[in-house]
Amino acid sequence: MPVPLPTGFALNRTRQAYLARHLRVADTHWSRLCGLMGTDAGTFPVGQGLWIVPSRGVHTFAMRFPIDVVYLDGDKVVVHLEENLKPWRVAPVRLRATSVLELPGNTLTSTQTAIGDEIEIALGRAAQE
């Protein structure tokens, strides 16, 4: 039986908007490699997210829906964005990135997230509803 991933939330402090109220963390080789492969869109709705640490880029092999990707530097400042990255693609590698957030498609548009925004990531507790 797989071990559950640590959870938390991701808040865009600059925009005061939640990117993910239910954030899972992929911080092992296997969890980073697998990411969201094989996940159905219905099990990754708005409010969900996956934080991949460390990471400088992602792929969407074996995925079934587009995702938004937020590249963060070591201070959790947005250094690059990929909106609605389609399945079976390879996103660019960004050397300034130290981690990546994978979010449901259209999250970046709905939260107005932009390069330079500061993201707060808190683990081990759920976001206030």
Reduced to 3 states, what is the DSSP secondary structure of residue 31?
Answer: helix
Is the residue at 51 inside a domain?
yes
Among the listed residues 72, 73, 75, 80, the one whose alpha carbon sits nearest the alpha carbon of residue 115? 80
Contact predicate 107/46, CB 8 Å:
yes
The domain total for the chain is 1
Is the residue at 1 inside a domain?
no
Quick: pLDDT tens for 76-115.
999 999 999 999 999 999 999 999 999 999 999 999 999 9
Range of the domain at 88: 7-123
Is the residue at 41 inside a domain?
yes
pTM: 0.91
Confidence (pLDDT) at 56: 97
